[in-house]
C-alpha cells in the first residue's frame, strides 16, 4: 500500500534519517486510542475516575463544548500516534512484542514520569495517577503494536 505510506526525511546533525510512516495506521491508532479512552473512562473505570476527581454526574452533564473537546483530543491523539510511528519505525519494531515494547518505553519515559506532577504539584491522589497513567500505558502499547505489524 505505497499510497498509504510516506517516507519522511529528517536531519539529525548532518545525517539524513528516513522514516516510513503509514498514515492509515496513524489514523487507525488514533481511533483505537479514542475507543480505549471511551471504555477506560466509561464502563471500566468511569465511576472511579469521577470519584477521584471529585466530579458528580451533574458536573459532567454541564460540561460545554464536548464536541470541540473530543475533536481537540483526537488531534492530540493523531499527533501522539504520528510520533509513536516514528519511534516504532526508527526502532525497527516489526512484531507484536517489538511494537508493545516501543509503546511501553515511550510511556515509561514520557507519560509515567511527566504525569507524576498531578500527584506532586496538583495534590491529586496516587490512585488517580495510576488510573490515568494506566490508560496511556494500554493505549501506547496497543498503538505500538498497530504500527509495528501494519504492513
> pTM for the whole thing?
0.87
Q: Is residue 120 part of a domain?
A: yes
Q: Is the pLDDT of residue 38 over 60?
A: yes
Residue 32 to residues 65, 66, 77, 107, 146: CA-CA distances in angstroms? 23, 19, 10, 17, 9
pLDDT tens digit sequence for 56-93: 888 787 888 989 999 999 999 999 999 999 999 999 99
Count of domains forming the chain: 1
Residue 62 is predicted with a pLDDT of 84
Is residue 79 a contact partner of residue 18, using CB atoms and an 8 Å limit?
Answer: no
The range of the structural domain enclosing residue 113 comes to 22-149
Q: Is residue 106 part of a domain?
A: yes
Q: Is the pLDDT of residue 13 over 70?
A: no
Q: Is residue 46 part of a domain?
A: yes
Q: Is residue 35 part of a domain?
A: yes
Q: Is residue 78 part of a domain?
A: yes
| Rounded Cα distance, 36 and 135, in Å | 8
| Rounded Cα distance, 62 and 149, in Å | 41
Q: Which residue has the higher pLDDT, 60 or 12?
A: 60
Amino acid at each position: 500500500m505505497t499510497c498509504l505510506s510516506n517516507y519522511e526525511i529528517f536531519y539529525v546533525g548532518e545525517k539524513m534519517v528516513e522514516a516510513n510512516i503509514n498514515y492509515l495506521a496513524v489514523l487507525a491508532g488514533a481511533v483505537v486510542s479514542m475507543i480505549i479512552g471511551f471504555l477506560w473512562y466509561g464502563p471500566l473505570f468511569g465511576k472511579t475516575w469521577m470519584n477521584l476527581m471529585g466530579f458528580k454526574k451533574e458536573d459532567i452533564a454541564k460540561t460545554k463544548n464536548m464536541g470541540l473537546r473530543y475533536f481537540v483530543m483526537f488531534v492530540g491523539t493523531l499527533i501522539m500516534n504520528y510520533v509513536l510511528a516514528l519511534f516504532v519505525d526508527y526502532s525497527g519494531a516489526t512484531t507484536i512484542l517489538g511494537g508493545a515494547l516501543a509503546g511501553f518505553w515511550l510511556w515509561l519515559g514520557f507519560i509515567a514520569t511527566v504525569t507524576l506532577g498531578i500527584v506532586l504539584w496538583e495534590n491529586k491522589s496516587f490512585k488517580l495517577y495510576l488510573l490515568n497513567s494506566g490508560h496511556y500505558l494500554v493505549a501506547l502499547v496497543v498503538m505500538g503494536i498497530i504500527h509495528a505489524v501494519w504492513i
